[in-house]
Structure 1
């Protein structure tokens, strides 16, 4: 395993740096590193690290979502209002609808199978979006209309919405009964996640104020609590739905609201942690990609991904109607909401593992969506924010 970790970091950093020099996002180099060293190519990774790959990716997500929470002012979120709520589900619904429309024609699949495919690729990737929104907040871009906060809030809840829809559709395809409670779980998991995060944040703030300790120790404590929140989500499964990642982000937001100086210092520490976590996350995402599926997919899968992407952008534009955002700011929001990576890597293979008839096509389109949208979204954001947003 230690050799595999060394390969991940060394190759990931080298290729990421190379792509940076080409004025391309480093994550593209890291994903390509993962594809090259994956079991589907040169098979350079130990099986032990592949077994814990999902947990390592989730740990990296925890780091960047906590970092986001530690810089997110709740007052800015209040300014956003209606569009932030709509961004949580409208773009995903547009995208799922597009995949159903296109997929039934291109692959001649049933409506249910194409809906499953749509729910797999509909989730936006926090791993790609969140670090860039944090950078915008730090640099002061889009501040007047709270654009980074709008996208951060929407992207965090979007995943919860899509995963619940995916779970319900998978149950239907397996012949299980899906009740109205399956969909009521969406708001419940959001509210419970936020409440538990607030409680954890207030508790940690009190501990940090009561006991003198180094900031590095505070980071370890905060990370440990964040991992426990994810475990809490597992333990409460079947009892009370809860979004662990939302709880993690809410914990960071609460610390920021209660003790801004502490949050600022912790944020700097998390920035340093992200240097390693980013490499681990995107290389392991790349390692889940079987490039053979992408090659076999051909033009049809590309048509579905691009068609879904256009409808997703239309969904974002719909959310921003009658807002004060300029045309340029709306265009930025549309491209910022396109990247896919982590969720698709996590759930793309589930229908195939369950032996559903649509499994192969779903995995193929999920792979293609990562390869197309992660670089597209990252490149567009990196190269356009200074031109489209006001500082």
Structure 2
């Protein structure tokens, strides 16, 4: 295991550095490192690490969402308003509709199989989008119109919506009935997550004001509470749940509001944690990619991915009328909302494991979606934000 960790960190960081020197996103090198080191090529990553890969990726996601929360001003989120709510589900719905329209014609699958595929592919990747938006906030690009905050808010909720749809469609494929409660749970879980996160952040602010401990201890406390929230969500078997990742982000937002000086210092600590967490996250995402599936996909699957991305971009555009964003800023929002990685790596193989006939093709398209959109989306954000957004 120790050798595997060393290879992940050293080669992952080196490949990320090389890509950045070539003006490419660092995550591209990390994903490629994961593919090469992973079980489908050189098989140099210890199975014990791969067995807990999902948990390690979740920890990395918790770190960057906490960092995002500590950076965000809740007044900025209020100012964003209606477009942020629409960004949570409209682009994913458009992409799913595109999949229903195109996939049966291009790949010859049924509408239900296309719906399952669409639910896998339609989620934007907070692991890619969130750190990019934090960078924009730190540098001041687009913040006067709350553009990074708008994208952050949408990307954080988008996954909740898509995963519920995925569970519903796979349930239908197994012959289960559609539960109306599943759809009711989408807004309820978001609201409960926000409320629980704000309450946790307020309690932490009070505690840190009364009990003086080192910032390192505070980071451990915040992380521990985040882990408890995620574990509590996983343990719940009730029809109504809460979104733990949204709770984690709003815990940071509340801490920033009620104890800003502490939040600023902790933000720096979490930023340093992200240096290692980013490598682990994207190398393990790459390790989950079966390159054989990607190579066997053919041109049809690639055309399909770009086709549904057009629908997604149209969905983002529909969310923005009535805002004060100019066309350049709207174009940036459309480009920034395309990367995929985290959800596709997490659930892309589930239909195959369930024994569904569409399992192999769904996994293939999910793998291709990661390989195409994660580096391309990150590259387009880095390439355009200084040209399309104002300071």
* TM-score bucket (shorter structure): over 0.9
The CA deviation at 1:321 is 1.6
Paired position in structure 1 for 2:297: 297
CA distance, structure 2, for counterparts of residue 376 and residue 14 of structure 1: 20
Partner Cα separation in structure 2 for residue 226 and residue 239 of structure 1: 22
| Equivalent residue number for residue 114 of structure 1 | 114
1:275 aligns with 2:275: yes
**Cα distance in structure 2, aligned partners of 1:128 and 1:278:** 10
CA drift at 1:240: 2.8
Q: Aligned-residue CA RMSD in angstroms?
A: 0.7
Is this contact kept in 2: 1:53–1:284, CA < 8 A?
yes
Can you list the C-alpha shifts for 1:73-109, whole angstroms capped at 9, x where unaligned? 1111111111111000000000001011111101111
**Equivalents in 2 of 1:199, 1:265: separation in Å?**
21
| Contact 1:236-1:242 within 8 A present in 2 as well | no
C-alpha separation in 1, matches of 2:356 and 2:151: 34
Check conservation: 2:116, 2:170, Cα contact below 8 A.
Answer: yes
Distance in 2 (CA, whole Å) between partners of 1:192 and 1:350 is 27
- Cα 1:161–1:327 shift into 2, 3 Å: same
| More divergent stretch after superposition (47-56 vs 138-147) | 138-147
> Is 1:176 the equivalent of 2:197?
no
Aligned residues: 391
Aligned counterparts of 1:143 and 1:183: Cα–Cα separation in 2: 33
Q: Give the Å deviation of 1:125.
A: 0.3
Corresponding residue for 2:316? 316
Q: What's the counterpart of residue 73 of structure 1? A: 73
* Alpha-carbon distance in 2 for matches of 1:323, 1:250: 24
Residue 28 of structure 1 is matched in structure 2 by 28
CA contact (8 A) 1:126 1:155 kept: yes
- Partners of 2:358 and 2:188 lie apart in 1 by 30
1:256 aligns with 2:256: yes
In structure 1, the partner of 2:349 is 349
Shift of 1:374: 0.3
TM-score (norm 1): 0.99
User: How far apart are residue 199 of structure 1 and its match?
Assistant: 1.5
2:152 corresponds in structure 1 to: 152
**Is contact 1:90–1:316 with CA below 8 Å preserved after alignment?**
yes
2:9 is equivalent to residue 5 of structure 1: no
Conserved? CA contact 2:181–2:239, under 8 Å: no
Residues in 2 aligned to 1:231 and 1:339: alpha-carbon distance in whole angstroms? 27
Contact 2:62 2:245 in 1 (8 A): yes
Tell me if 1:287 matches 2:287. yes
In structure 2, distance between residues paired with 1:174 and 1:266: 46
Distance in 2, matches of 1:122 and 1:373, equals 12
Q: Deviations over 1:40-60 (max 9, x none)?
A: 000001110000000000000
Alignment of 1:1-391 (within 5 A): 1-391=1-391
Shift of 1:144: 1.9
CA distance in 2, matches of 1:240, 1:79: 29
The alpha carbon displacement at 1:239 in A equals 4.8
Separation in structure 2 between the aligned mates of residue 117 and residue 85 of structure 1, nearest angstrom:
24
Counterpart Cα distance in 1 of 2:375 and 2:234: 32
d(CA) in 1 for partners of 2:170 and 2:72?
A: 35
For 2:356 and 2:239, how far apart are their aligned partners in 1?
A: 28
